[in-house]
Amino acid sequence: MAKRPFTIIHQDADIVICNKASGVLSIPGRDPKQLSLQELLKRKLKADIFIVHRLDKDTSGIICYAKNEIAHKNLCEQFEKREVKKKYLALVSGTPNPAEGKVENFLSPHIKGYMKVSTTGKRAVSMYKTLKSYDQISLMEIEILTGRMHQIRVHMRSIGHPLIVDKIYGKRSELFLSEFSQKPLYRSKYKSERPLISRHSLHAHSLTFTHPDTQKKIKFECDLAKDMKAVIHQLERNKS
């Protein structure tokens, strides 16, 4: 588990908003020894914590939990009605053309733990925008209008720009500092060097919804995780 598995960004009587580290489960998994963020919050706050939505284990960033049944019901309804705005930041391979657009298709299970674009399945919609391009890698902002399993990862792959690090849907499972000083960018084996990033390059950046008690629209953001910041730092240093 990450050294610091989460940071609480905001909490009140109804909700708790956290910045989750990569490598931390957002909901309980099959291994009882691996504590989820939900369980960690229960221990820290000594209170009931209700699941509203989830992030993949290796996705860092913002996540919301409810602290009572009324708030839980209200927030779940907002998610079901697609009233919650969720934006992510991703480092992807190449430079998308056009620089912004919409991906809409159907996703269905492929093999255990994998998803694929299909003619059937569940409708999935993502809006993407290129924030900065570094030739072989681009920083993207992606808003998901539906919440399908692995949606962003499958959608970016479907348009030819998978996450730069993604062992399931991409071409690599790690990215190294020494790769930035050599061409081509990609190399296969680094036995002694520590990778800049070794999980899929995706971060939940912002969450906007209506507070279940005050009924006011609220928005929370959290900065990029250190590993993604480190990649961007090297890209900035090496840009022409």
> Per residue, what are the HEC states of the chain?
CCCCCEEEEEECCCEEEEEECCCCCCCCCCCCCCCCHHHHHHHHHCCCCEECCCCCCCCEEEEEEECCHHHHHHHHHHHHCCCCEEEEEEEEECCCCCCEEEEEEEEEECCCCCEEEECCCEEEEEEEEEEEECCCEEEEEEEECCCCCCHHHHHHHHCCCCECCCCCCCCCCCECHHHHHCCCCCCCCCCCCCCCECCCCEEEEEEEEECCCCCCEEEEECCCCHHHHHHHHHHHHHCC
Q: Are 115 and 148 in contact (CB under 8 A)?
A: yes
Partners of 115 in the β-ladder: 109
Q: Catalogue the active-site residues.
A: 56
Rounded CA-CA distance 42/48 in Å is 6
* Closest C-alpha among 237, 233, 225, 236 to residue 4: 225
